[in-house]
Structure 1
Amino acid sequence: MLWAVVVVGVGAYLTSLAVPLWFQAQGERLLIVTSGSMAPRFVAGDVVVLRAVRDASELKPDLVVTFQPVGGTSLVTHRIVSLHSLPAMRVADDDTGRMEPVLDEDGTPVMQPYIRTQGDANAFPDPDATPVERVRGVLLRVHHGWGRVLTWATSAQGRAVMLVPPLLALATLEVLSVLEGRRRPRPARHPEDDRRVDAFVRV
């Protein structure tokens, strides 16, 4: 029973480490969904599997992509609704987030391919277009419910639940082994053995 606790706990811990690494080895990436903007395709608590964009030409309307909005720090996974060629923008004021066009040496705005996106559950498109270069991945498939499991498994509570019982079980097995060793009767010494030792010493 104690060994079963060890095997289950350690196995669960190793699995939580191996799953993301396995996808990474396939050239894929896991992303935990935190909102319902793409319902019913996927919802908070699901995991989406992404692959990197090989070429900007593969980005088409109706494709679901993950991108980092200009001026944002979080990733967003929405559907492409249209493609545009717009002036490249940069953040002009970090405090207010004000944007301004990027100009070439002649003062002409630099044109750049952009995507317009929208969440399936949202009534309106996202307010800002996103440069193609900020697209981080293309949706391959969805694993429903995986996000809750992976979030728990990588939390301090999850690690404790997976590792503390096996450690306690191993400690218990060690104590039981020591106690069992003490209970075992020691082999009795025979007088003949003592005489052999005495004879050896006298010689």
Structure 2
Amino acid sequence: MPTPWGERDLSARWHQVGVGPRLSETTDAGRGARTERAPGWFRAVTAALWTVVAVCSLAYATSLGVPLWFSLHHQRVLVVTSGSMSGARSGGFDAGDAVVMRHITDPSQLKVGQVVSFWPPGSDHLVTHRIVSLHYMPVMRQDEVTGRMVESVDGSGSATTRPYVVTKGDANAEPDPDATPLSRVRGVVLGVYPRWGWVLEWTGSATGRLVMLAPPLASLAAMELMALLRDRSARRTAATDPAPAGHTGARTADDALLLD
């Protein structure tokens, strides 16, 4: 049976140019070369850098998340800076520990033996000591005529009183010199976390922030630079390597078919 002219001519053209692999095959081969697996040292360094990013990011997130978690539960974390409450008694703590405090608003929430945080009269430095006694004391005011301190009275003529706490550090021999009014009591200590204080204080400092944030940023920059250098090296290698056998013939054959 005679072969149609178009099919006979097309087969002749393929035979004359000596076509090698098809263009799609060469394209697949090139794609496989471009996705060549990274060398072992590259993968190891990348894994180490990602580990640095993960560890430092987790540490930074924890330093922000711990205080926030307590704050959402209407509590506050305080760092202990002195040893006035050190000792074997339950509820004691040492310098460098962290204590969790809950705010109080009513005198009925206080009792002897509790550990409270407060501002001593005439001071803005927060102190955390144990309550040794509770008292209602008269409110004192200065007499405008004599200049002496006298008790305040209400409309019925009764002395006006206010709740006070007398406190003492477990490691101190004597109670604190001044009783503290309830209005200056910040809250009641709920729990103690040994050695957390130094960690939280460090993570909140400028040095701690730098140590937690600088390494992951540097690691990300290093990985980006490594990827750019590897890509540039691969392109340079591809440009200098000779074309595989049959590749030029395939491109010439395809061009001849498309142009004719």
Q: What TM-score, normalized to structure 2?
A: 0.66
Residues 87 and 101 in structure 1, CA contact (< 8 A), matched pair in contact too: no
C-alpha displacement at 1:175, in angstroms? Answer: 0.2
Question: Does 2:58 align with 1:11?
Answer: yes
Conserved? CA contact 1:46–1:145, under 8 Å: yes
Aligned pairs for 1:1-203 (under 5 A) are 1-40=48-87, 41-88=92-139, 103=152, 110-185=160-235, 186=238, 190=248, 192=251, 196=255
- Structure 2 residue matching 1:53: 3-state secondary structure: coil
Higher deviation after alignment, 175-184 or 47-56? 47-56
Amino acid at match of 2:114: L
- The answer on whether the counterparts of 1:101 and 1:109 sit within 8 Å (CA) in structure 2 is no
Q: Which runs of 5+ in 1 are unaligned?
A: 92-99
Using the TM superposition, name which of 68-77 and 170-179 deviates more: 68-77
**CA deviation string 1:124-144 (max 9, x = no partner):** 111111111211111111001
Contact 1:87 1:109 in 2 (8 A): yes
C-alpha root-mean-square deviation of aligned residues, in Å?
2.9
Whichever structure has more strand as a proportion of its residues is: 1
Counterpart-to-counterpart distance in 1, 2:158 and 2:105 = 29
Separation in 2 of the partners of 1:171 and 1:193?
44
Scaled by the length of structure 1, what TM-score is found? 0.83
The structure with the largest helix share of the pair is 2
Pairwise CA distance, 1:13: 0.8
C-alpha distance after superposition, 1:7-50 (max 9, x if no partner)? 11111111111111111122211010111111121011001111
> Quick one: percent identity of the two aligned structures?
50
Which whole-Å CA distance do the structure 1 matches of 2:141 and 2:207 have between them? 41
Whole-angstrom CA distance in 2 between matches of 1:90 and 1:179: 79
Greater gyration radius: 2
Q: Which residue of 2 aligns with 1:97?
A: none
SS at match of 1:184: helix
Separation in 2 of the partners of 1:8 and 1:103? 60
Count residues with an aligned counterpart: 193
- Give the counterpart letter for 1:114 in structure 2: Y
Counterpart residue identity of residue 38, structure 1: M
- Looking at structure 2, the residues matched to 63 and 147 of structure 1 have their Cα atoms a distance apart, in angstroms, of 21
Structure 2: how far apart are the matches of 1:4 and 1:89? 63
Asked whether the 8 Å contact 1:101–1:110 carries over to 2, the reply is no
Q: Secondary structure at the match of 1:45?
A: coil
Change (3 A) 1:64 1:105: closer
Distance 1:142 1:194 in 2: 82
- Any stretches of 5+ residues in structure 2 without a counterpart? 1-47, 143-148
Supply the distance in 1 between the matched residues of 2:113 and 2:226 (Cα, whole angstroms).
63
Q: How far has the Cα of 1:56 moved from its partner? A: 1.4
